[in-house]
């Protein structure tokens, strides 16, 4: 009798069928909410999964019922052998997608099509070139916006990830939504979250409620409507009347979606994290290299998952002091 579980289920009955794999801790941008100002420690490549190891570990998760794999980073498209990884994952019976800053997207359009990728998340935190370059500490705004247009022209479903930070870009919420009127683009406003080295504080966050207040003040209560939530949704989504695109809010800080969480994270160095905010990790890469079974470790990791936000409780102005976690770039978006 086959005792291998068909699904990865935690003690709260949540089925985990969505795997996010970080390909690299490196990035060609230096966004301050993700990358500490002083950078991160550079490690030997042997500390990280090779392309072949990544594919092997991914296959284990697929055998356990994972239906969707998202590649993240760092910036996944600067990973050596990224094209090989995309093609190999594209052969598996899963939906493959990725989150990218889009700097190198033009070099991978054909590979992404070959891998069957249809939806791509692009990080873009300002529509103002000078401001975006200040946030990212680099000067790629024109290249990124050109590549967003290229994705749309090639029929990709494009979601924009916008981290909203008070005093930085919170005055652009309506500007982003205006983009959805005539363009089939899907904007997702993300509350600023605390991670190592990003100088988060409670006053910098712009909440779900505040974002909706801005939208209502500009468009009126009847100028937009809420869409039906999808299963395992991370955002609450809305649409302007007669618009081609949508906008949504990912409220991990003030209004989290833990009750329907189906996500597993695998870091670039092969550690499984059962929650974005959890400091607990299990080293799958070492087990794989020793040719030991991964299943018990995966099951243990998911069974130890807390009901909400890694057991940290409600977020407040003292949250940054309570967190003992990696920087965002070393976890994977």
pLDDT in tens, 294-303: 999 999 999 9
Mean pLDDT, all residues of the chain: 89
Cα–Cα distance, 30 to 39 (Å, whole number):
8
For the chain, percent of residues with pLDDT exceeding 90: 69
Is residue 172 very low, low, confident or very high in pLDDT (cuts 50, 70, 90)?
very high
pLDDT of residue 15: 94
Cα–Cα distance, 12 to 259 (Å, whole number):
9
Cα–Cα distance, 11 to 289 (Å, whole number):
29
Cα–Cα distance, 270 to 301 (Å, whole number):
13
pLDDT of residue 313: 67
Beta-strand relationship, 246-250 and 236-240:
antiparallel
Judged against a pLDDT cut of 90, whether residue 59 lies above it is answered with: yes
Q: Is 299 left (phi over 0), alpha (psi -120 to 50) or beta?
A: alpha
In the chain, count of helices (H) and strands (E)?
11, 14
Q: What domains are defined for the chain?
A: 8-331 (3.20.20.70)
Q: Which of 26-35, 195-204, 268-277 has the lowest mean pLDDT?
A: 195-204
pLDDT in tens, 130-143: 999 999 989 999 99
Cα–Cα distance, 331 to 325 (Å, whole number):
9
Q: DSSP for 305-319? A: --SSGGGT-S--TTH
pLDDT of residue 23: 96
Beta-strand relationship, 224-226 and 236-240:
antiparallel
pTM: 0.91
């Amino acid at each position: 009798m086959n005792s291998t579980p068909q699904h990865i289920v935690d003690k709260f009955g949540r089925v985990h069928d969505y795997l996010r794999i970080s390909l690299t801790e490196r990035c060609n941008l230096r966004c301050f909410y993700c990358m500490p100002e002083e950078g991160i420690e550079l490690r030997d490549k042997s500390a990280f999964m090779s392309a072949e190891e990544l594919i092997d570990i991914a296959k284990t998760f697929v055998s356990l019922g994972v239906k969707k794999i998202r590649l993240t980073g760092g910036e996944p498209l600067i990973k050596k052998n990224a094209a090989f990884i995309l093609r190999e994952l594209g052969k598996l019976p899963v939906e493959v997608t990725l989150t990218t800053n889009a700097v190198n997207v033009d070099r991978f359009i054909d590979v992404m099509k070959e891998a069957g990728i249809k939806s791509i998340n692009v990080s873009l935190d300002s529509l103002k070139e000078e401001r975006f370059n200040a946030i990212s500490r680099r000067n790629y705004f024109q290249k990124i916006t050109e590549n967003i247009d290229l994705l749309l022209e090639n029929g990709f479903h494009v979601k924009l990830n916008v981290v909203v930070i008070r005093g930085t870009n919170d005055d652009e919420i309506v500007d982003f939504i205006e983009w959805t009127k005539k363009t089939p683009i899907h904007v997702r406003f993300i509350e600023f979250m605390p991670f190592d080295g990003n100088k988060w504080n409670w006053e910098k966050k712009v909440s779900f409620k505040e974002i909706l207040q801005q939208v209502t003040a500009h468009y009126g209560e009847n100028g937009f409507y809420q869409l039906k939530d999808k299963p395992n949704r991370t955002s609450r989504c809305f649409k302007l009347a007669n618009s081609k695109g949508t906008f949504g809010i990912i409220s991990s800080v003030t209004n989290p979606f833990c009750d329907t969480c189906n996500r597993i994270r695998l870091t670039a160095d092969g550690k499984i994290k059962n929650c974005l905010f959890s400091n607990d990790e299990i080293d799958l890469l070492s087990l794989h290299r020793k040719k030991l079974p991964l299943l018990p470790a995966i099951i243990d990791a998911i069974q130890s998952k807390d009901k909400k936000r890694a057991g940290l409780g409600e977020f407040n102005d003292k949250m940054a002091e309570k967190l003992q976690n990696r920087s965002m770039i070393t976890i994977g978006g």
